[in-house]
Amino acid sequence: MTVKRLILTVFLAFFLSVLFPPIYAQDEKLSSKISLDKDAHQLIGRWEIFETKEPGKPYLSSYKGRPFVSRGANAFTLILEYSNDGTFRRIARVGNNETVEEGTWRLSGHELRHKRKGAIEEEIMYIRFDGKDRYISTEVFEETSDPGLFAKFRRSS
């Protein structure tokens, strides 16, 4: 009788595992969907930097320096692409060299978090939208007296 029960139990376990996905797979499906609030939805798309305040310099006098150029031998820019699945790409161009980093993002209130692939810690920035096609980002360096890096981004095509 116990051999029959054992065979029946193994058969039922196999049958159920084929018909029904494992519980842990269902958890992954639920967690992979991102619920976007209005501001997070507004961030979806491609953004290009057009103005910065460099670290260590006062806010009013630091908007000088190298202009941002998207392409070519004189390229110098930063482009961020946000997808609605919670992933992002960061494209940095200096001259003819292009660096692409990928990772995940999330926006909670004004706090934008980037977790790049291979990085141990998240980057935390604070953003403010100035209309639907512009936002300002502030990255704070907590262990210094420096107010941080201040950047303006605009939506690009």
pLDDT band at 38 (very low <50, low <70, confident <90, very high): confident
Least confident of 32-36, 46-50, 97-101, 144-148: 32-36
Query: What SS3 state is found at 15?
Result: helix
| Domain ranges for the chain | 1-33, 35-155
CATH number of 35-155: 2.40.128.20
27 band by pLDDT with thresholds 50, 70 and 90: very low
- Which DSSP string do the residues of 116-152 spell out, in sequence order? ETT-SS-EEEEEEESSTTEEEEEE--TTSS---EEEE
pTM above 0.85, yes or no: no
CA distance 30 to 119: 25
Q: Of 63 and 155, which is predicted with more confidence? A: 155
Most confident stretch, 28-42, 114-128, 141-155? 114-128
